[in-house]
Amino acid sequence: DAGVIQSPRHEVTEMGQEVTLRCKPISGHNSLFWYRQTMMRGLELLIYFNNNVPIDDSGMPEDRFSAKMPNASFSTLKIQPSEPRDSAVYFCASSYDRGRSTEAFFGQGTRLTVV
């Protein structure tokens, strides 16, 4: 398996523009997570899905952020409008929930810079 695939790897955009980050989880995994990582705050969970349904979005910073998972093999995280403080590395991770704890596998991340 190719692992969790994220695109783009790098994104530079101007303040106010819409940004869409994409994720393809590992085939067969039924949980998907979006994390944001900064030097100041470390890894923060933004939202997670189980069987394509959003379970917990309490980490989404504000209404400018939205996430969708239209099917088991694709998810997007959208920021509209983007702001410089959104600059961070955004990771997508997936796992297989068998009713007991299991490790999450991370994609390579998207480094977002908002200028």
Alpha carbon 25 to its chain centroid, in Å, reads: 11
**Cα separation, 49 vs 57, whole angstroms:** 9
| Nearest-approach distance from CB 35 to other proteins, in angstroms | 8
Q: State in angstroms the smallest separation of the CB of 102 from other proteins.
A: 8
Q: What is the nearest approach in angstroms of other proteins to the Cβ of residue 26?
A: 12
Summarize as ranges the residues that interact with other proteins (CB under 8 A).
Answer: 4, 31, 33, 35, 41-45, 48, 50, 55-56, 91, 95, 97, 100-109
